[in-house]
Structure 1
Amino acid sequence: MARSTVRKAAPKRGDRETGPARVPTPHVKRKQDRRRSAIMDAAALVFAERGYFNATMKDIADRLGMRPASLYHYYPSKEAALEDMCRVSAVEFCERLQAILARGGPAVAMVRAGMLAHLTSERRAYVENFAFSRRNLPPGVLKELNALARAYRQLWKRIFVRGAERDEWRADLDPDVAADAVLALCNSAATTLPRRKNADQDAAMKWVELFLLGTRKR
């Protein structure tokens, strides 16, 4: 039996041949990263102020003084922006608390540093979205983000366990309950402290000292 052959259709006039995607230069990459970060910042504030469901891509573009068409070049949807901001903030918060834990010292000082880092972070608007809007993301993404949330909680628990070993807490303190409590307080503060970068340190410290008043050994 003769072997059949399939011929490739000749390209039509005006068709463009697609080659490998062009890799941006380091300068262009930095510029794109800055723009993407600015979009995430704007989206985080818009979502926090208007609510994720009520917010639109146009709201984000208006906040930046951009055309919506330009915004879609970086993020195809508000869901994509939410996913990025949740992932970025979760990784950064874990890394920051891990560094505090690695430095050692009294657990009370670790809690103070960790809470202040959480409450005064440049990503404060991201915290509110991570805590209250991530459930709107696809199941696979949500599973990944929930794993990061558990890792962050586990770091807090390790700090409270360390304090218990050093007899720094009340005798009845449960490290699991304390870890949940500190996260609940910090996430709640994200909706009450002003939604701006670098929230007032003094206001944040009042939350910290109130928490420590109820946990520290007297």
Structure 2
Amino acid sequence: MTVEGTQRGSSWREYTDQGLSKVLAAALAAFVEKGYDGASIREIASRAGLSVPGLYHHYPSKQALLVGLTNAVMRELLDRSHAAVAEAGPTPGERFDAVIESLLRFHMYRREQAFVASRETRSMESESRKAYVALRDEQQEMLDDIVREGAAAGLFRTPFPEDASRAVVTMCVAVSTWYREDGPLSPDELVERYLAIARSTVGASD
């Protein structure tokens, strides 16, 4: 089914303001511009219109800001992916398309959040990194299960289901590093093109 043929009322396809608190929104802007190491608590507080003690009332450290932001990013992505699968048809191909479209739209419309979460995993303390990676693995496993099921049923011809699934997710995540709203492809056109590439990667039957 083409993107044009899908239902446009689906909430997981709709992107408005993420609803970040003013503190997390300020941290996001600072991390995008200067990176985690380059952004100071004082600067984040200023962007949020708070004093440093006022910021600490909400988050006790810069690390807590990073954890709060990256958790919000992953929770939203997982919620949207689960909603996409719930709305999809029962076949592995339909569920595969739904997850891929969700990943692509998220990494277009939440590209700054996704970019910071991906880049700054290295800046997380050990326990926080483990918790974040567990959420990221949950997203990956969602697609892995679908691709394995499709391969077992002969609907996906790839001899390497897990590798193909990882390759497709990596492609979708990378969209956040280069997509621009004023670029040559509209969101629907990009989804259509990358769905074709993703289906080819797993060897989806027509």
TM over 0.5, shorter chain: yes
1:41 corresponds to which of 13, 19, 25? 25
TM-score, scaled relative to structure 2: 0.71
Per the alignment, residue 61 of structure 2 pairs with: 77
Deviations 1:64-88 (A, max 9, x none): 4x14434333223322111012222
Instruction: Note if 1:147 corresponds to 2:152.
Output: no
Q: Deviations over 1:72-127 (max 9, x none)?
A: 33223322111012222223322332333344433333233223322323543222
- Provide the rounded CA distance (Å) in 2 between the counterparts of 1:112 and 1:68: 46
Corresponding residue to 2:100 among 105, 112, 115: 115
2:117 is aligned to 130
Q: Does 1:217 align with 2:205?
A: yes
> What is the CA–CA distance in structure 2 between the aligned matches of 1:86 and 1:168, rounded to whole Å?
35
Indicate the residue corresponding to 1:186 in structure 2. 172
Whole-Å Cα distance in 2 between the matches of residues 181 and 207 of structure 1?
A: 12
What's the % identity of the aligned pairs?
Answer: 24
Matching residue of 1:22: none
- Normalised TM-score (structure 1): 0.68
CA distance 1:160–1:184, shift in 2 (3 Å): same
Gap runs ≥5 in structure 1:
1-33
Which structure: greater helix fraction? 2
Which amino acid in the other structure matches residue 193 of structure 1? Y
Give distance in 2, aligned partners of 1:186 and 1:94: 14
Counterpart Cα distance in 2 of 1:135 and 1:102? 33
Alpha carbons 1:57, 1:68 under 8 Å: kept: no
Counterpart in 2 of 1:57?
Answer: 41
Q: Which moved more, 1:136-145 or 1:66-75?
A: 66-75
Structural RMSD (CA): 2.9
